[in-house]
Amino acid sequence: MGDSSPIKVVFCGDSSTGKTSVLLNYINGSAPKSTKPTIAAAFFTREVKIHERLFDLVLWDTAGQETYRGLAPMYYRGSALAFLLFDVTSRKTFENLGDWIQSIRSEAGDKTIISIVGNKIDIEDLREIDTFQAQDYATNEHCLYFETSAITGHGIDRMMQISLEELATSFIPEDKPTPVPIAITENPQKNGGCC
């Protein structure tokens, strides 16, 4: 168990961008072949070591479907880190990022780190948003940018590692003089939940 309050991390973005798949890949090491749209939200917990201190992450997987959009802000409150997904093969999901960012910032505040994630890079032939365009957009919005595939697992550990390191330096009070790389613990706990 971590020695301080759990850190709230939220996954958000349009429906079908791959939030559940990316999160399950992070937790289990692989994503299921098919998924159903998330209803309301679900959460998972995982313990990580940052700057030699243990922290409990509570990872919220929110529903992107329009029906549940009104609930999303509830999950942003108190979040230290938000992964905002779009689908690189769907321009529409990229164009909607601005609305998501506005909603996250108005509920969670300006200190929340937002990592924009272009998912589904395994379907390169159908790509509609190129890396430079997305990276530029993220930089202008003061967000981090990553590309992932929940199917191959590409980029997911890097996305988590760099985002958590950023969190460690900007959000968690420093009480150790020398930063060290985070180590993600084995045997993650999985607590599916719904509210």
Judge contact between 160 and 26, C-beta under 8 A: yes
Q: What is the three-class DSSP state of 188?
A: coil
Q: Residues 91-120: x/- map of binding to ligand GTP (CB under 6 A)? A: ----------------------------xx
Binder to Mg ion among 20, 25, 90, 115 (CB under 5 A)? 20
* Alpha carbon distance 193, 39 (integer Å): 11
Piece of 41-49, 57-65, 75-83, 93-101 that binds ligand GTP (CB under 6 A): 57-65
Closest approach, Cβ 86 to ligand GTP, in A, equals: 10
38 near ligand GTP (CB under 6 A): yes
Cα dihedral: 127, 128, 132, 134 (round 10) = -110
Instruction: List CB contacts of 85: < 8 A, sequence separation 6 or more.
Output: 11, 12, 13, 14, 17, 18, 19, 22, 93, 116, 117, 119
Q: Which is nearer to Mg ion, 10 or 168 (CB)?
A: 10
Q: Which partner, Mg ion, ligand GTP, none, binds residue 115 by CB below 5 to 8 Å per kind?
A: none
Contacts of residue 161, defined as CB under 8 A and 6 or more positions apart, other chains included, come to 181, 182, 184
* Residue 82 bridge partners (DSSP): 10, 114
Asked whether position 123 contacts ligand GTP by CB under 6 A, the answer is yes
Candidate residues 8, 46, 50, 64; the one interacting with ligand GTP per rule CB under 6 A: 64
Minimum distance between the CB of residue 30 and ligand GTP, rounded to whole angstroms? 11
Interface ranges with ligand GTP (CB under 6 A): 15-21, 34-35, 37-38, 63-65, 119-120, 122-123, 149-151
